[in-house]
Structure formats: structure tokens, C-alpha cells
Amino acid sequence: MTRELAERLRREHTLRPEEYRRLLEACDEETFGYLRAAAAETARARFGNGIYVRGLVEIGSRCRNDCRYCGIRRSNRRAERYRLTPETILDCCRTGYGLGFRTFVLQGGEDPAWDDGTLTALVAEIRRRWSDCAITLSLGERSVASYEALFRAGATRYLLRHETADPQLYAALHPAEMSHARRLACLETLRRIGYQTGTGMMVGVPGQTIGTLVEDLLLIERLRPQMIGIGPFLPHGDTPLGHAPAGSLRLTLLLLAILRLMRPAALIPATTALATLSPEGRRLGILSGANVVMPNLSPAAQRAKYAIYEHKAAFGCEAAEGLAALERELASVGYRIDYARGDYEE
Ligand code: SF4
């Protein structure tokens, strides 16, 4: 029965809510294998055996928010705080460009010091120096005017996970001043402005149920994001959710495969969280339909401080300087690095 649903999802790219639920609840090993293979084949039909690389620069670990799952939440006094200077960020981009990267992802907490003037000047400078590169921002919620100014300055993509489609669960995971409605409004705004937009969620965060995951799938189906980032929840000991168990590898891979079949053209990373959960995580993600990896270009001395969760993989294949190791790892499962900037194409 679940096999029939999986085959239909592959053909039609959509299922009814109760069918998604059944697939998530009752997927046997045979269907799981079929879904992952179908997802990998779907990605291969679009992207060949190339895996896009994006150079990740974690620009700072200061954040005004207090999300309950996050190691750099404002109330974690033990978190080490840093903020890269624009010059250091430009140095990271220069290094990345030399290594072959054609997408830079600037990611960081919501730090008011990154005001619109500072940030647009930085984006404009990256655009000026490396005009053939895509610039992706992952800097949380900002005003409409700010998103517009950054787009005009040359940013092309924006990642903003919706975190959960369930407003109650969103409220349980976030401080009172954060609002689910505003998060969705930000995503709509980003789309309207013209960004290639990414969203997604953690798998296994406390309070999440199969029902809320079905809502997540339906929301993603409705939003039609160009990029989809999902990874397992990983606890951080200095947060209120520090004792909760990590998300399941199997469920993460199952969702990844479903999302690939739902959105064949989407850019879907094998996330660092997946690689942190399991040494096989990156490969398994790619073999479940992922087609992007995001090696870390941040200065090595700062990487450990950007600890949204503990034991984060930031070296080896997760590091920009580890591209040769990444190339070998991808080759072991029949893939290769694709250095193109890899924009979304319908
Ligand atoms: S998840 Fe993002 S917004 Fe929330 S505390 Fe962490 S860095 Fe800040």
C-alpha cells in the first residue's frame, strides 16, 4: 500500500494529507528503499551526477532571539560570541572564489549590529568583486525595506526556515516576541521581491508529531520554495531542550526523499546536521535526493563558536579546505563536485 503511494508521489509530485501521513507512519523498508532510490534518480535526471557546493561563511554568533533549541540563543551565557568584520568576510569569499566556489552563503544570528547600511555595503562589495557569484543570505527576519535593499545590493537567494507549520509548536519553541505569522510573511516578502527562497525544518524537534510534519509538507507544497533545508534536530546541552533525543536519521532521509519527489527541481542540501548525526549522513542524504553541500569557509578559529548544536561537523568534508576529501567521498557513491553557481531552474 505505501509502495503504491510512493509510486504515485513520484509520478504526480503530490499526495493528499492523509496519504502523506500514511507514508510517514507506515513506510516499510521496501518502500523506504524505493522512495530513496526514486528520489536519487529524480535528482540525477535533473542535475546529473554533480553536487553543487556553496561556501558557507558564518558571519557571527550574536543573536537577539532566544529559540529554545539553539546553542547561540541570547540567554546562553556560555556561548562564545564573535562577529566577523566585513574585511574578514571578504577574505573568506576571496579564498572561496580561489577554491572554485561560485555561491557564498552568509549565515548568522539576528544581530542588530548588522544594520542595513553595513550589510548592504558588504553585499554590494561582494557583488562588485565577484560578479559571477550568487550571494545567499541566511540572517533571519528583517524588515521589508531591508530585504529590498539587500536584493538591490546584489543578494540573490535567502534561506529562512519556517521551522514548523504548526503555530502552537512554533510558539512553544520560540520566545513570545517571535511570531509564526511574521515568519510566513517574511517568506512571502522574500518571494515577492525576487529572491530564490529556501525554507525547511528540523526533524525530531520536541513536540513535533507526524501530524505537524504532514503540515510542513503541505506548507512546502504551497510555498514552492526553490531551496529546501531539512536536517535532524540535534540537542545543545546549554539550552532548555538539551536533554531531548536527537532526531531520527531514517525519518530525516524519508522526508528528504519525499521532498525531492514533491519538488524535483529544488535545491536540497545534505545538511551539516545530517553529517553530524551520522558519519554516513552526507552520503545517505545524497542517495536520498539531496544535490547540494555547503562546506564551511569561515575562519577555522571561529567555527566551533557557531554552535547552534553540539559537536557540529565543520572540518574534513564539511570544510572548504577539505574539498579533495569531499570529492573522494562523492566519488565513492558515483557523484562529483559541480562548481557552477547552480541557480534554480523550473
Ligand atoms: S535559531 Fe537563529 S534566530 Fe533562533 S536563536 Fe538561534 S541564531 Fe538566533
Pocket test for ligand 1, best of 58, 61, 62, 63 (most atoms within 8 A of CB): 63
Cell 531520527, located at residue: 248
Say if ligand 1 is within 6 A of residue 70 CB: yes
- Would the pLDDT of 315 be above 80? no
- For ligand 1, the distance from its centroid to the CA atom of residue 325, given in whole angstroms, is 30
Residue closest to 276 by CA, chosen among 304, 298, 299: 304
**Mean pLDDT along residues 49-63:** 97
**Average pLDDT for the chain:** 96
* Complete edge-to-edge strand list for the sheet that includes strand 50-53: 292-293, 50-53, 336-338
Residue closest to 55 by CA, chosen among 263, 273, 299: 299
Contact by Cβ (8 Å): 83, 305: no
Atom of ligand 1 at shortest range from CA of 308: 6
End-to-end CA distance of the chain: give it in Å, rounded: 31
Q: What is the DSSP letter of 84?
A: -
- For ligand 1, the distance from its centroid to the CA atom of residue 115, given in whole angstroms, is 17
Contact by Cβ (8 Å): 170, 177: no
pLDDT band of residue 279 (cuts 50, 70, 90) is: very high
- Grid cell for residue 21: 501521513
Atom of ligand 1 at shortest range from CA of 61: 7
Cα gap 20→143, rounded to integer Å:
35
Atom of ligand 1 at shortest range from CA of 108: 7
- Would the pLDDT of 244 be above 90? yes
Contacts of the segment 174-181: beta carbons below 8 A, 24+ positions apart: 174/65, 174/66, 174/67, 174/68, 175/65, 175/66, 175/67, 178/65, 178/67, 178/141
What separation in angstroms does the CA of 246 have from each of 137, 202, 206, 312? 27, 10, 9, 13
Strand locations in the chain, DSSP E?
A: 50-53, 55-60, 103-108, 134-138, 157-159, 196-203, 227-232, 292-293, 336-338
Contact by Cβ (8 Å): 208, 168: no
Say if ligand 1 is within 6 A of residue 63 CB: yes
Lowest mean pLDDT among 8-17, 59-68, 115-124, 315-324: 315-324
pLDDT band of residue 251 (cuts 50, 70, 90) is: very high
In 3-state terms, what secondary structure has residue 320? helix
- For ligand 1, the distance from its centroid to the CA atom of residue 157, given in whole angstroms, is 19
In 3-state terms, what secondary structure has residue 70? coil
pLDDT band of residue 306 (cuts 50, 70, 90) is: confident
What separation in angstroms does the CA of 337 have from each of 55, 149, 307, 317? 13, 33, 26, 12
**Mean pLDDT along residues 284-293:** 98
Classified by CATH at the fold level, domain 2-338 comes out as: TIM Barrel (3.20.20)
Predicted confidence at residue 322, as pLDDT, reads 87
pLDDT band of residue 30 (cuts 50, 70, 90) is: very high
Backbone angles phi, psi at 236, to 5 degrees: -115, 125
Predicted confidence at residue 86, as pLDDT, reads 98
Backbone angles phi, psi at 2, to 5 degrees: -65, -30
In sequence order, what are the residues at sequence separation of 6 or more whose Cβ sits closer than 8 angstroms to the Cβ of residue 46? 264, 265, 291
Say if ligand 1 is within 6 A of residue 68 CB: no
Predicted confidence at residue 228, as pLDDT, reads 98
- Would the pLDDT of 81 be above 90? yes
Q: Over the stretch 105-159, which tens digit does the pLDDT of each residue have?
A: 999 999 999 999 999 999 999 999 999 999 999 999 999 999 999 999 999 999 9
Nearest CA to ligand 1 atom 6: 70
Cα gap 103→332, rounded to integer Å:
25
Domain regions of the chain by residue span: 2-338
Say if ligand 1 is within 6 A of residue 65 CB: yes
